Amino acid sequence: MTAFLINLKDNPPAAEQYLQLEGVTWQQYDALVALFIDQFPALRMTYLEGTLELMTTSPEHERLKKIIARLIEAFAEEADIDLNGYGSATFRREAAARGLEPDECYSLGELGDAPDIAIEIVLTSGGIDKLAVYKGLGVQEVWFWENQQFSLYSLIDPEVGYEALSASRLLPGLNFAVLAQFVDSPSQTKAVKAFRKTL
């Protein structure tokens, strides 16, 4: 596993790669986060009840997360919403045996134990159910970008889980069909300017 991770620094992959490990204790996961997460920004670690998934992100993955973040932040500025971004910070909860780094995440106002909104870019499928992880962390909404469209989920109850949404409850004025039209623009700056004009 060390050789796999060290390779990430010198040879960042062109495509996403996954490695899944079973029977990983919380203490082992905690140690790996402390050891690797700052050294390898392209590495995502998702932990769910003893299963640890390591994923490298591709340049396309990072481009998509960045343009989506810029568009959402432009919307919040225009709508005068106190939206605070925390990027791909690590969120963990030992009691729930869950932890991960969202691709992007936001809180309305100050950050609590977890962000209010998490965004996931899905180019290839991993083995861990991200909604199961987010449920244990108490994230209110999870937005997935997959196959050129958004799918939104809202946490009904920590026991029940998430339900699919057609619009965000936290940012009800954000039109995701319109937002999606600007995600694949070759110029992020032009896309943000054009998106602002629609608001």
Q: Does residue 99 carry a pLDDT above 50? A: yes
Most confident of 11-15, 33-37, 41-45, 182-186: 182-186
- What is the set of domains in the chain, with CATH numbers? 59-198 (3.90.1570)
C-alpha 75/C-alpha 72 separation (Å) is 5
Q: Does residue 126 carry a pLDDT above 80? A: no
Percentage of residues of the chain with pLDDT beyond 90: 78
Q: Does residue 14 carry a pLDDT above 80? A: no
C-alpha 14/C-alpha 25 separation (Å) is 31
pLDDT in tens, 75-97: 999 999 999 999 999 999 999 99
Percentage of residues of the chain with pLDDT beyond 70: 92
Q: What is the mean pLDDT of residues 59-66?
A: 94
Q: What is the pTM of this model?
A: 0.89
Count, residues in the chain: 199
Q: Give the model's pLDDT for residue 1.
A: 38
Burial grade of 111 (CB within 10 A; 0-12, 13-18, 19 or more): middle
